[in-house]
Amino acid sequence: MIIAIDGPAASGKGTLGKRVAAHYGLAYLDTGQLYRAVARDTLAAGDDPTDAAAALKAAQALNPQSLDDSSLRTPELGEAASLVARHPQVRETLRAYQRTFAHRTPGAVIDGRDIGTVICPDADVKLFVTATPEERARRRYLELKQNGAEVTPNEVLADIEVRDERDQNRATAPLRMAEDAVLLDTTKLDIDAAFRVAIDMIDAAMGHAGQAG
């Protein structure tokens, strides 16, 4: 079973994806970590994330075992990841790994920006998780402050809006909701409520409504 979860930054799709994967006993992949890792390695080599050749070199040499690196969650790498993700060859290089991961037995939960549209258009279930920019910025601000980052709410909102524009309008694999995806707006939901709604949606899509738990 493949469950694709797409959505913009700070919509809650990552936390939701982990819980959904644990619920069904499936592997989980946050594809954003792949791009953050490519950005990390590009910067570590002294290169510019906007340099397609440099980003591609980092993508080709990427070690998937390094995706648990806690430094990947910094605002700086989030911004740099959005830049390397614009390069078509970088996306093509990472696509094979993502598809291989998705088709493992007994299945996987994968979240990102183009899972239901490009990576796994054949996914059994597709969710598009979103929330208002203001709510997403509030969540990201609290997360960053908890991790000791010195940011203001307005700075975080501005960053969210820039990333949304970049993700939605890039030439390759832009962020958009798949035609057969189910919309889950988490603006007024905490993670527990969002998880319950997601499970109901997935069970309904799989024809197993009422068997959650």
According to the model, what pLDDT value does residue 36 have? 95
Query: Sorting pLDDT into bands at 50, 70 and 90, what band is 211?
Result: very low
Instruction: State pLDDT tens for residues 33-87.
Output: 999 999 999 999 999 999 999 999 999 999 999 998 888 988 789 889 989 999 9
pLDDT number for residue 207: 84
- pLDDT, residue 213, reads 42
CA-to-CA separations, 193 to 11, 115, 187, 189, 190, in angstroms, rounded? 14, 23, 11, 6, 5
Token pair, residue 167, equals 């993700």
Structure token digits, residue 116: 């239901």
* Confidence band of 129 (pLDDT split at 50, 70, 90): very high
- Measured CA to CA, the distance from residue 81 to residue 139 in angstroms comes to 19
**Per-residue DSSP letters for 122-154?**
T-SEEEEEE--HHHHHHHHHHHHHHTT----HH
**What number is the average pLDDT over the span 148-170?**
92
Q: Which of helix, strand or coil describes residue 85? A: coil
pLDDT at 172: 87
Please give the sequence-ordered ranges of beta strands (E in DSSP) within 26-116, or none if there are none. Answer: 27-30, 108-112
pLDDT, one tens digit per residue, over 2-42 is: 999 999 999 999 999 999 999 999 999 999 999 999 999 99
**Sign of torsion, CA 140 146 149 150?**
positive
Pick the CATH number of 2-206 from 3.40.718.10, 3.30.70.1560, 3.40.50.720, 3.40.50.300: 3.40.50.300
Query: Domain ranges in the chain?
Result: 2-206
